[in-house]
Structures are given as C-alpha cells and as structure tokens.
Amino acid sequence: MEVGHFAIKNWSDDDKPREKLMLKGKDALSDAELLAILIGSGSRNESAVALSQRILASTKNLTALGKMSISQLMQFKGIGEAKAVSIVSALELGRRQRIEDVLKVKKITSSKGVFDIMQPIIGELSHEEFWVLFLNNSNKVIYKSQLSKGGIAGTIVDIRLVFKLALENGATGLILCHNHPSGSLVPSSADKQITKKIKTAGEILDVKVLDHVIITESKYYSFVDEGIF
C-alpha cells in the first residue's frame, strides 16, 4: 500500500512552521521551515517543508537562493509565479536590511569596514560595478555612488565624474570599490591603472584616495593592506 505525504495541517502545533514560530519564536525554525511559511503550501505529494528542503538542497545555501530569478525558481516543481515572487521579495528585504545595518556605522576604520558596507550591494552580483565612497575629515561616509556598471569582465570609469561628485559633496577623501563576479581577488592591470590615475588626480585636487577595495561574495582585497598604495 502506497502512503502519501503527511500534510502539515495534520502535524502537531509544535511542528507546524507558523504555529512553531508563534509558540517558540523565529530562532526555533530551520531555514526550510521559514521558507515553507513563505511558500504557504506544498502539493498533494509533498508538504511545503519538504518542498523547501528540496529547494535548499539544490541551491546549497540562502545566498545562492537569493541570486535566483523568478523564472529560475519556477523551474522547481510546486513553485508557481506567486510563490516565486514571495521568495524573491523576502530575500531582497533581507538583503536591504543587511545594508541598513552596516550603514548605521558609517565611519571607516579599516578595509573590513568597506567590505561590510559594500558586500551586500555588489558582492553577489553577476556583473561588475564600480562604486565610490566619499568621506569627510573624520572618515565618515557622507555619500556613496555607483560610477559604472558593466559586464563580467569590467567597467569604464569617468575620472572627471569621480571628482565632480567629491567636490559637490564636500568630500576630503574617497575609497574606490568594485566587485569581481569571477570570485578572483587578483587586481587586473586595468584596476591598477585606474587607481593610479584617480589617485594622481586626487593629489592635484586635494582629495585623498584612501583605498581601493575589490569585493567578492565572501572575501575582499585591499590595495592598502596589500601595500600597492
């Protein structure tokens, strides 16, 4: 005799994701259980928790799940457009919350501080972006801006725009940042050349280039830390 899946509605309250959250708090739930709440329901042959477990087993982690598009999520049997939209929206809210958290402490004291600010913004992108953090005399970030957006291989940076923004915002220092979608932390010759040009221009305009940080999903490379400056 074939036995179907045991529907969540038939579970004890301690095991139902929604009820478990209300009774024990959010920390008591696994990633799959939290995802199951977003999904809402499974199918005749699979509970929402089992579906969530299958998705997470395929994507390996929440970071990889957060990179998936609506169409990619819909490739999983049991995930329609509405459920895919819910997943994408929830993970995007989480990403934005991480950005808000790191921006509460805006004073830069190390290259790690730059990574903490920029990783949620560019660390997980599939294309390259070049950003600049503009700082005051106290090394507090007063403005940040995306200078260019390109493909996998690189971007083009307008040096004049860098210092136009610096002067407009009264910045006395700036930090260059860009991501490497490949995951490589090795600066290219183009990375070194643009850094040198911007640093030279900054010396003329009395705006100090404090560092250039390459960001990947989980690591970073600081020109200052590595002695390139």
**pLDDT tens-digit map of 12-32:** 444 588 888 888 888 888 999
pLDDT attached to residue 87: 93
From the number of C-beta atoms within 10 Å of its C-beta (0-12, 13-18, 19+), residue 36 rates as buried
- How far apart, in Å, do the first and last CA atoms of the chain sit? 72
| Phi (first) and psi of residue 177, to 5 degrees | -145, 140
Which structure tokens are listed for 118?
A: 């920029």
pTM value? 0.63
Residue 221 has pLDDT above 90, yes or no: yes
Residue-wise pLDDT for 183-219, tens only, equals: 999 999 999 999 999 999 999 999 999 999 999 998 9
Q: Could you tell me the sign of the dihedral formed by the alpha carbons of 158, 164, 167, 168, in that order?
A: negative
Are 8 and 47 within 8 A, CB to CB?
yes
Element (H, E) at 121: helix 111-122
Across the chain, mean pLDDT equals 87
Question: Interhelix angle for 81-103 vs 31-39, to 10°?
Answer: 130
More confident residue, 169 or 153: 169
Q: What is the pLDDT of residues 45-79, one digit of tens each?
A: 888 899 999 999 998 888 888 888 999 999 999 99
101: pLDDT strictly greater than 70: no
pLDDT in tens, 30-43: 999 999 999 988 87
